[in-house]
Chain A
Amino acid sequence: MTEGILFDAAMFETLALTLKLATVTTVLLLALGTPLAWWLSRGGGLWKEIVATLVSLPIVLPPTVLGFYLLIAMGPQSPLTALLGFKLSFTFAGLVVGSVIYSLPFVVNPIRNAFAAMGPRPMEVAATLRASPLDAFVTVALPQALPGLITGAILGFAHTVGEFGVVLMIGGGIPGRTKVLSVTIFDYVETLEWDKAHVLAGGMLAMSFVVILAMMLIERRYGTGARR
């Protein structure tokens, strides 16, 4: 037992790393996920359903399965590593790639639903008012889908903070590089440092509650304001 010190340097390091990972992942997810969600929301076709299914796979897949395949893809023998010239496994960049794939459905699906709920009409109106497709996307589609974008960002962030299986598989838990919160909690429990585990676990619990509550409030506010 370390004398009453619940926060130590290692804990701050792991917290900072986790927030950095979640932030970078969320930014990338919004940048990649928004165009993807737009494409998926416009029209049908078998192709789109196949892509939508691939995007949604991480929801049902055990994280260890996803982590296993990602580990192989990022490992020393993979074509990806040959292509990049370095390996992604056990690096922060590797964690980011894994997190983006793992949290993709949680960002893409709410945004896709928001775009779909908008229908084709607002974009048609914008086109008849001389807005180019890109102009209309930025000035009409994005603002109209704002609740979906916020929900997607919050979910993506929270889900990345909370992930365990994938990061453990491809990151290993190297302090300062790949050892994030959930892995640290696991380690504390393993080494019987329950006080510290309590601090982190309790913090996660509180954060999750706040996240879900915030989402509910956002949906309630925009849900009533977004009527025609």
Chain B
Amino acid sequence: MISAHFTGRQGDFTLDAAFEVPGQGVTALFGPSGCGKTTVLRCMAGLAWLPGGHLRVNGVTWQEGRQITPPHRRAVGYVFQEASLFTHLSVRENLIYGLKRARGPLRISEAEVTQLLGIDPLLRRPTAALSGGERQRVAIGRALLSQPELLLMDEPLSALDRISRDEILPYLERLHASLQMPVMLVSHDLSEVERLADTLVLMEAGRVRAAGPIAAMQADPSLPLIHRPDLAAVIEGVVVALDPAYGLSTLQVPGGQIVVPGNLGPIGTRRRLRVPATDVSLGRHAPTDTTILNALPAVILGAEAAEGYQITVRLALGATGEGASLLARVSRKSWDGLGFRPGEKVVARLKAMALSAPAQTGG
């Protein structure tokens, strides 16, 4: 459990942010720029401090009001927006700077980190000769090797171009899959959050608007996420069948099975799906002649007006609505025409794409 509360003024900005999130997995601090998410992260590291509040991470107290543990006595790893490698040190010296100073048991070794992040070929190069993406990988490795109990990442991809971003995301996903320590990720990019985060802390103007599992937050009608034009449901599933002849994989998700293009790895692999709300349509009966592969029973939970002619329908997968949450954006005309009601059982037809890059490569 991570329990945090930071309150105080910085210049003419007032922060009063409190949240409790699980002490494992990836938690995204999400919100528009200037909402205070970086300040919260800096407070968690001890780089900034506000006189009010507290911070407890899995039983260890790092702040209680004015009693504040300085950053070098906290077992945190911090990845800044820019890699900020030490220019006077070699790549390897950068990597082991924190390792040499780490206390407590060794959780992750230099060999594991270089393997996990593909740093081996970079070790002999001068830091100035690395690309942006390579530098950020070294910075992440450096933070991991300091043996943190909490990894903090401040928009680690925002300073990178598209190509470097695509190069580094798979490494972050592998990190997510293979590390036990909790990660806090600051981001203003929802697609990044959908790929990486389990828990979402939604911030607005120095306050926490809501916090919870990402799927629940996306489907919460009281939150602004549901009105986004790029609204999607994030669903976790396990690969249960592969169809190499047609290039398809079947995932078991809570409340049904979804067929997804591509080979998503060996049976049993956990994968995350992104189902855009605009790719979901609703009907009363299972379709008999359609090119849509997925038709799943679901229960309507509610509907919110969306922009223009559309309506956003909240659903739960499964015949009794016991499964994962799903979102559909349909035209108000067909919604009214078909006369759907909350609580009604429907068949959701959908297209789904796997969110993450294949996890089996190089792993």
Contacts and interface: CB of A to CB of B under 8 A. Distances in A.
Contacts of A122: 84, 86
A227 B97 CA distance: 20
Contact of B142 (A129, A136, A139): A129
A133 B70 CA distance: 10
Contacts of B146: 128-130
Contact of B70 (A126, A127, A135, A227): A127
A128 B88 contact: no
A135 B101 contact: yes
A199 interface: no
B45 interface: yes
A41 to B, nearest CB: 17
Contact of A128 (B83, B103, B128, B143): B143
Contacts of B84: 121-122, 125, 228
A23 interface: no
A17 to B, nearest CB: 37
A128 B102 CA distance: 11
Given A143-B88, A144-B86, A227-B128, A130 B143 contact: no
Majority DSSP secondary structure for residues of A touching B: helix
Contacts of B102: 130
Contacts of B118: none
B87 A225 contact: yes
B90 to A, nearest CB: 12
A158 B46 CA distance: 43
Contacts of B80: 121, 124-125
B360 to A, nearest CB: 32
Given A124-B47, A225-B128, A227-B128, A129 B87 contact: no
A146 interface: yes
Interface residues of B, number: 27
Contacts of B70: 127
Interface residues of A, number: 23
A49 to B, nearest CB: 21
Contacts of B83: 228
B45 A128 contact: yes
B45 to A, nearest CB: 6
A36 to B, nearest CB: 22
A119 to B, nearest CB: 9
B77 interface: yes
Interface in B128-147: 128, 142-143, 146
B82 interface: yes
A121 B47 CA distance: 10
A140 interface: yes
Given A225-B128, A228-B82, A127 B87 contact: no
Contacts of B49: none
A132 B88 contact: no
Interface in A128-159: 128-133, 135-136, 139-140, 143-144, 146
B76 interface: yes
B289 to A, nearest CB: 59
B103 A130 contact: yes
A226 interface: yes
20 contacts: A121-B80, A121-B82, A122-B84, A125-B84, A125-B86, A127-B47, A127-B70, A128-B98, A128-B146, A129-B97, A129-B101, A129-B143, A130-B146, A131-B101, A135-B101, A144-B87, A144-B88, A228-B83, A228-B85, A228-B128
4 residue pairs, one from A and one from B, having the closest CB atoms: A129-B98, A130-B101, A128-B78, A127-B71
Given A125-B84, A129-B142, A130-B73, 20 more contacts: A122-B84, A122-B86, A124-B71, A125-B80, A126-B72, A127-B46, A128-B45, A128-B78, A129-B101, A130-B98, A130-B101, A135-B72, A136-B72, A140-B86, A140-B88, A225-B128, A226-B87, A227-B128, A228-B84, A228-B85
Interface of A: 121-122, 124-133, 135-136, 139-140, 143-144, 146, 225-228
